Structures are given as C-alpha cells and as structure tokens.
Amino acid sequence: MKKKVSLKDIAKAAGVSTALVSYVLTNKEKEARVGKEIAGKIREIARKLNYQPNHIARSLKSGRSYTIGLVVADISNPFFANIARTIEDEAKRNNYTVIFGSSDENADKSWDLINVLLNRQVDGLIMTPTEGSEQQIKQLKERNMPFVLIDRYFPGIPTNNISINNFESAYHAVTHLAKKGRQRIGMIMYKTALHHINERKRGYLEALRDHKLPEKHNLLKLARYSNIREDVHKAIDELRSGRKPADAIFFATNSLALEGLKYMNQLGIRIPEEMAIVSFDEAEAFDLFYSPVTYVQQPILDMGKESVRVLLEQINDPKKAVDHLFIDTKLVVRKSCGSRQKN
C-alpha cells in the first residue's frame, strides 16, 4: 500500500518547517505572516503529492468535526440552490465542509434532517425553518447548539438570523406596478403562517392603500405548497374573471411565478399588454421568457457569506450576542410591467 503523504513530506519538499505547512494548508498563513510566494509553493507541492488531510485526527485534536449542517426548503429551487452554493464556498474558505438536505416545507422531515446532522456531530447548523418548526428551534437553543436561520425567522424567538426586509421589498414592487398605471393588482402567495411570506402580504396591502387602489379579498389568492400547480392555475383563472379582472399580478415567490408564467403562456395571455408581472426572487427562466420578468433580487451572496460568518463566530464564542441582520434587496426592472396610462 502506498504511504499516505504527510505534512512532513510537504515540508521537506518545500524546504520549510512542518508548522509552516500546517498554517498554509489550514488557511492561516496571514496570522503566521507567511509570504504569498511560499504559501503558493506549499499548496502546489501539496497538490502534486496528492495530499489528503486527516480530518479524524484533526477532529480529535480540536474537539470539532469542521462540518456545518445546512437545511433548506427545496434545493431544486434556484434561490435555495444558490444560497447552498454560496454557503458551501464560504465554508470551504474557512476549512469547513457542508452537509445539506431539503425539508420540502415539512416540519417532520426538517426535524429528521436536523437529528441526522446532529448525529453526524456537525459543529453548527444553518437553516431555513419550516412552518410549525418553532419547537425545533427552541430545542436547539436549549441544547446550546450553534445555529443561524437564513431567509426566515420567528419574531418571538431570539435567534441568529440573516434575512431581508420583506415588507419593504414587497411594498416597492407593488408601488412600481401602481406607478406603471396598473389599477387592479392581484397577489398570489403561499397559504402559510410563516412570517416572511405574511410580511410580503403586508407590504402588498400597504402599497395598495397608499396608492388608493382596491384591496379586495378576491385579488389576494392563496396556493398550497403541496398543490402548487392546480392552485396557481385556479388563482389566475379567478383573477382574470369577473367584470373587473386584474391587470397585474405580484407573485410572492419565484416558484409561484414560474408556475403562473407557464400557465399564462398556455392561455395566450400577453405580458405586459394584458397582465403585468412582478416576482419575488429571480429564476433563470425569467431571462428566457419573451417578456423578461421584473423581480425582487435578494442578496444571495451576502446572505450566504453572513450566515457562515455569524455561525462560525457563535461556534468560537458560544456566549456571543444574537445577530439579527437585514440585508437590502433590489428591484430589477424588466419588460414584464410595461406602462399603462391611468384612466
């Protein structure tokens, strides 16, 4: 059997001390004031020798696994996929590995995933909590488990949280539609008690009031996560019916928007001539649609980086005060809103 390459082997090839090699390969060369040239040389030698770090020995020595557990709602959703990738890259930069899974917006599945990750001895968790998972969050707090909630949080439970101002973001999106001359603006949102979605609803309603537009109950439609296709189709049919149909739709998430756009395309609805569209969150398909979609752009890169930073700070200092960070969004204006003169 071929002998495993050690730090000593790399140090000998580079003509430096084993300690210096250790600093470089754990990304601590700045603290040790190692020059860029020698650090690059050490990494190149490690690559050529196919050096594989001994994580078990490292864990036994430090009392850490150097792994982070990540639980997102749905890894197939572009928003969560991009969040996961950003977290993975940032964790790697800090010598951590990420193990992740999807809850599918199911509290029981979320708890199963959390327990699997805890049994894997992860050092901390980053999570997008599901509806009804408050007790799970409280149990993690009682266990003093380092964790950060991302995208969502529960206002009544003090926790580390990285999110956006959903109310303000939705308010600006609907205001944009109002300024484009849209008179009957509908909204399609998930049927949920989750705070972030209901803050988007609050922003929608407040914008209608401020622009003196109708806020009738028949303009606000609910869809179930488990029945998204049928519910979105029904919602669009209802918004288009009646004596005064909607002339704009604000979708509360990109998954709702994608389902809605596919259906409207089947129906031959012209966007933005017949219906203006704004979506919360982006999707690659928005660029391919014949009328590129206006959307609320969430700061995915910043959210991912900040979640890792806050988690690692808590891992290193369990008594650190809770961080609750709001990061600004941006409304990316495309062709799907058009412009219509008010009557």
pLDDT per residue of the chain (343 residues) written in tens, 0 to 9: 456 778 888 888 888 888 888 778 777 777 767 788 888 888 888 888 887 766 555 554 556 788 999 999 999 888 899 999 999 999 999 989 999 999 999 999 999 999 999 988 899 999 999 999 999 999 999 999 999 999 999 999 999 999 999 999 999 999 999 999 999 999 999 999 999 999 999 999 999 999 999 877 789 999 999 999 999 999 999 999 988 899 999 999 999 999 999 999 999 999 999 999 999 988 877 877 888 899 999 999 999 999 999 999 999 998 888 899 999 999 999 999 986 554 4
Topology agreement, domain 61-163+300-328 and domain 166-297: yes
Write the burial class of residue 175 (CB in 10 Å: 0-12 exposed, 13-18 middle, 19+ buried): middle
Residue 277: beta bridge partners?
Answer: 249
State the DSSP code for 218.
Answer: G
CATH number of 166-297: 3.40.50.2300
Query: Under a CB-based contact definition with an 8 Å cutoff, are residues 236 and 249 in contact?
Result: yes
Report d(CA 86, CA 164) in Å as an integer. 17
Q: How many Cβ atoms sit within 10 Å of the Cβ of residue 109? A: 15
* CATH H-level superfamily of 7-53: lambda repressor-like DNA-binding domains (1.10.260.40)
Residue type present at position 31: E
Residue 60, pLDDT score: 46
Report which of 78, 168, 81, 163 is spatially closest to residue 129, judged by C-alpha positions.
Answer: 163
The second-level CATH assignment, the architecture, of 61-163+300-328 is: 3-Layer(aba) Sandwich (3.40)
What confidence score (pLDDT) does residue 9 get? 84
Q: Where are the domains of the chain?
A: 7-53, 61-163+300-328, 166-297
